[in-house]
Amino acid sequence: MRQNVRIAWYFLVLALLVGVWFAHGRADEKKTEPEGGFPAVAWIEAQENADVNKIEVKLEQKEAAEQQLSDPGNPDKGTLKERFAGAVLVGDSVATGFLDYEILDATEIVALRGLRTDSAGPEIEKALSLAPKVLFLSIGLNDLEYCRGDSRLFIRHYEERLTEIRAQAPDLPVYINGILPVLPEAVEKKPVLQNVDTFNQALRDMCKKWNLTYIDNSELLQDHADWYQKDAVHLKSTPYPLWLERMEEAAGL
């Protein structure tokens, strides 16, 4: 009997030792884990969250642009995008936003980053090959630097392009967009950008000479610095439907 009690005590002491050893091992594991979790895992999670946030912002901008394109007050009139069908816009990097934000289709816009009046011939040829009923031009931002502020050189190149258009499509309605303004931060980096107003006045005079409609966009972005991207030149999605509405009104689409 006494032997059985002794054996039971042995097992009890052994169980206690095992329990102490196991608890001590768990405590050591916690000590070896880096404070705040594993850095690599935290970094990966942060990157995933950042990517998701970028996608969400992009989708929100696209949805906002699509909502502005609709005309709830007159559903029979169709969306602004539908009303713009048959027109073609030729433009530079600012105009590429119509494609980037999926506001216009590739059949309605021919845009090229760095496009200037002296080099726009091929793009205008492409636009004319689409057989547009109306042609819009939005060129001049890159000419500010290329022409070194010389508005007369700018207009000379512009008129060369107009001559080419009239030779191929003498009756095609053509509308000239003014150069969109840039923020002061952009002018600080490139002082030549301060000549936007001078170049736009030259465009107004040219339109009178050629009997063309000039679309004044000088007030479109007024008091809306938040609509610009970080470079203070290119635009976020919000103003594009508003700009499209100005073109629509000018052409009576």
The pLDDT tens digits for 198-233 are 999 999 999 999 999 999 988 999 999 999 999 999
Q: How confident is the model at residue 32 (pLDDT cuts 50, 70, 90)?
A: very low
pLDDT at residue 19, rounded to an integer: 54
Query: What pTM was computed for the model?
Result: 0.71
Burial bucket for residue 66 (CB in 10 Å: 0-12, 13-18, 19+): middle
Task: Give the alpha-carbon dihedral of 108, 110, 116, 121, to 10 degrees.
Answer: -100
Tokens of 171: 């009756």
Task: Give the alpha-carbon dihedral of 12, 13, 16, 17, to 10 degrees.
Answer: -140
Q: Is the pLDDT of residue 59 over 60?
A: no
pLDDT at residue 39, rounded to an integer: 53
| Residue of 89, 98, 87, 180 whose CA lies nearest to 136 | 89
Q: Is the pLDDT of residue 57 over 80?
A: no
Burial bucket for residue 116 (CB in 10 Å: 0-12, 13-18, 19+): buried
pLDDT at residue 74, rounded to an integer: 44
Residue 128 neighbours by CB distance under 10 Å = 18
Tokens of 65: 């642009």
Collect all residues with Cβ–Cβ distance below 8 Å to 69 and sequence separation of at least 6. Answer: 79, 80, 81, 103, 241, 244
Return the bridge partners of 175, or none: 136, 213
Q: Is the pLDDT of residue 12 over 80?
A: no
pLDDT at residue 81, rounded to an integer: 81
| Residue of 214, 211, 186 whose CA lies nearest to 93 | 186
Q: Is the pLDDT of residue 62 over 80?
A: no
pLDDT at residue 30, rounded to an integer: 45
Q: Is the pLDDT of residue 70 over 90?
A: no
- Going from the C-alpha of 117 to that of each of 106, 144, 157, 211, 244, the distances in angstroms are 21, 11, 5, 19, 21
Q: Is the pLDDT of residue 64 over 70?
A: no
Rounded CA-CA distance 58/46 in Å is: 18
pLDDT at residue 82, rounded to an integer: 85
